Amino acid sequence: MQAFRRLHQVSLCSSPRHFDLFRRTPQKFLLYSTDVHIKELLGFTSPLLVLEEPTDSNVKQSPDSKPPAGLLSSILAETHSKGNLNSKTPTGLFLSRMVDEDPPCKSHDYGRRKLNTIPIPHRSFQEPKGQDLDFVNVAYSHLVHTDWAKLNEMVPGLNPFRVNHVLLRTQKDHLLSYEFFDWVALQKPNAQTLDSYAIIIHILTKAKKFRLAERVLKKTILPKLPNSPSDLFDALICTYRMCDSSRDSFDCLFKTYAHLNKFRCATETFCRMKDYGFLPCIRSANAYMSSLLALNRSDIVLSFYGELRRRRISPNVYTLNMVICALCKSGRIEKAVEVFKDMEILGCRPNDASFNTLIDGYCKNQLLAAAMRLKNSMCEKGVEPNIVTYNTLINGFCKNGMLQDACRLFNEMKVMNVAPNTVTYNTLISGYSQSGNCEMGARLHEEMVKNGTVVDILTYNALLMGLCRDGKTKKALYLLKRLEEENLVPDASTFSAMIIGHCKRGNSERAYGAYRTMLRRGCHPNMETFSTLISAFCEDKDYSGAVKMLMEMIERSLPPDADTMVDLVQGLCRNGECQVAMEVCKKVDERRLTPHGFDMKKVIKITDFNSCIKNDRLNLMSN
């Protein structure tokens, strides 16, 4: 029969375990046909068994060919070498609106078996006999009649074998299965195994109870298996046919890992799914992309999106929003614009999050004119600018010192009946404070209180920073008392502002006192705080205090800037403490915190040369 070709064992069996499954698998897994009609005659029409047609009938595939390693295999290897990504990074823009929580939807290739995939094994548990059979029958009867009192008497007889068979017996009633599973978890947790976990997930996803399945995974199963995504996946595969399950079980596991921001586990699950010919639905893919953006891994988001397109999984508007966000974060604004323009071609109408994401990308790349043009085009597309749109634009103008344009937008949003919120006022107050216009900042604060808008610690920090940069420490202290009266807790930025204010007034003792208070309150000083204090001590010629602050700074692994190091080293040398200056530089260098462009020998040499010239001039004047 020329219509059939036997696949080579190497192409299906990538490990001894797979080879063992291969030997025990029916022959239909070893055949594929280019004739769809012959497949139908032989019963190959099941979604799990139909193999994908070759894209080019003229291309002959080698019988020894292996499936491609896949794009994410290299990513997974990288993350295994680096460990879990757990750094706290800024969350992607508008992600709360980008991931839908609805049950998985069906996409073009979702769930279809692929060519050269590993066959799913036919496995079954040993049938219960004797006392085991009696236990299963009695337990099932008590469950059906909801006789929990009699079930409680059977707790001593619970074991993993019996639990698995009771779950299989009740699988047609997902609520009954879940109640039994939950009861076992409370009464005798060690009677639950990977197999029982897998069975309950199959039962719930088969009944389309995806949120309940995800909740069981999050609260009951995954806490017991923190680093074993492969073991649970294997259990799901082995119990797959017993439960007459669907691809939704694996999709649910993948989506749950994504929601928990377990990037490595989600990636490994995705790769295993591909091995068995399963693909995630677009909503699960969106959850994965969202977790990657939260980890600031825009590069992997774009690679994963390319994988989705190659697998012919159609994106939705949330997918494309995240792609635009990833491109903007990567600085590829032109490519982001292309994706935005192609959204309607892909069958996705841009929503407010689409516009807001691209506007934010324009603003961060200082393309404010383009951002305004895009905002003005929103109404033409039937999308109204919202509070996020205006806040993004106002923030962009304020950061570029264009306060008049920011104020114009502030007035426009009021006309458009878009009420300013706390973020709007805080952005404007911060902009005016940094420009030295404290009066306008105070006026906006009064308007904020009058309108009933919530005043938070960021509002006060912006006002305090403006006052302290102008050296108005008395007004700043009054504002600090008012802050505490409103039960707001000062943070690191609050104390940093006060330290800057005291240093502006030349009062290094009060600045140091504010620093000690800051530490007692559990706040962590930043680079600017230390640099300000070191400069203040140097101006007062208190070099021992400056050195002490520098040592505390490097103990916290905060690198000093070049100007701070130059001021300190020059001050020590002029004070006749060149040896101390060299020791300080040595300690900074040992911690690998030497600022770029700082040359200790050059600074000391210039300082000594200037000192010699100064001494020669003094000698000439005295003569």
Q: Average pLDDT of 458-470?
A: 91
- pLDDT for res 116: 58
Torsion sign, CA atoms 226, 228, 234, 239? negative
Confidence of residue 616 (pLDDT cuts 50, 70, 90): very low
Confidence of residue 582 (pLDDT cuts 50, 70, 90): confident
Q: What is the pLDDT of residues 559-581, one digit of tens each?
A: 988 888 888 888 888 888 888 88
Q: Give me the phi and psi of 32, to 5 degrees please.
A: -145, 160
Span of 11-25, 251-265, 369-383 with lowest mean pLDDT:
11-25
Q: Is residue 437 part of a domain?
A: no
Q: Is the pLDDT of residue 238 over 80?
A: yes
Q: Give me the phi and psi of 4, to 5 degrees please.
A: -115, 150
Q: Is residue 329 part of a domain?
A: yes
Confidence of residue 621 (pLDDT cuts 50, 70, 90): very low
Q: Is residue 352 part of a domain?
A: yes
What distance separates the 2 farthest-apart alpha carbons in the chain? Answer: 119
3-state secondary structure of 383: coil
Q: What is the pLDDT of residues 515-561, one digit of tens each?
A: 999 999 889 998 989 999 999 889 888 888 899 999 999 999 999 88
Confidence of residue 594 (pLDDT cuts 50, 70, 90): confident
- pLDDT for res 362: 95
- pLDDT for res 609: 46
Mean pLDDT over all residues of the chain? 79
Q: Average pLDDT of 589-609?
A: 74
Do residues 50 and 20 lie in contact, with contact meaning Cβ atoms separated by under 8 Å?
Answer: no
Q: Is residue 415 part of a domain?
A: no
Q: What is the pLDDT of residues 425-452, one digit of tens each?
A: 999 999 999 888 889 999 999 999 999 9
Last residue of some domain: 43, 66, 89? 66
- pLDDT for res 519: 92
- pLDDT for res 297: 92
- pLDDT for res 71: 43
- pLDDT for res 608: 56
Q: Is the pLDDT of residue 49 over 50?
A: no
Q: What is the pLDDT of residues 315-341, one digit of tens each?
A: 999 999 999 999 999 999 999 999 999
- pLDDT for res 346: 86
Confidence of residue 607 (pLDDT cuts 50, 70, 90): low
Task: Write a three-state SS string for 520-553.
Answer: HCCCCCCHHHHHHHHHHHHHCCCHHHHHHHHHHH
Task: For the chain, report the end-to-end CA distance as a whole number of angstroms.
Answer: 116
Q: Is residue 359 part of a domain?
A: yes
Q: Is the pLDDT of residue 18 over 80?
A: no
C-alpha span between 483 and 495 (Å, rounded): 12
Residues 6+ apart with CB under 8 A from 82: none
Q: Average pLDDT of 393-416?
A: 94
Q: Domain containing 45: what range? A: 4-66
Last residue of some domain: 356, 384, 412? 384
Q: Is the pLDDT of residue 114 over 60?
A: no
Q: What is the pLDDT of residues 142-186, one digit of tens each?
A: 999 989 999 999 999 999 999 999 999 999 999 999 999 999 999
Q: Is residue 50 part of a domain?
A: yes
Confidence of residue 606 (pLDDT cuts 50, 70, 90): low
- pLDDT for res 5: 34
Between residues 608 and 41, the one the model is more confident about: 608
User: Residue 153's CB: how many other CB atoms inside 10 A?
Assistant: 11
Between residues 294 and 605, the one the model is more confident about: 294
Q: Is residue 341 part of a domain?
A: yes
Percent of the chain's residues with pLDDT above 90: 47
Last residue of some domain: 359, 384, 409? 384
Q: Is residue 177 part of a domain?
A: no
Structurally, the chain folds into a number of domains equal to 2
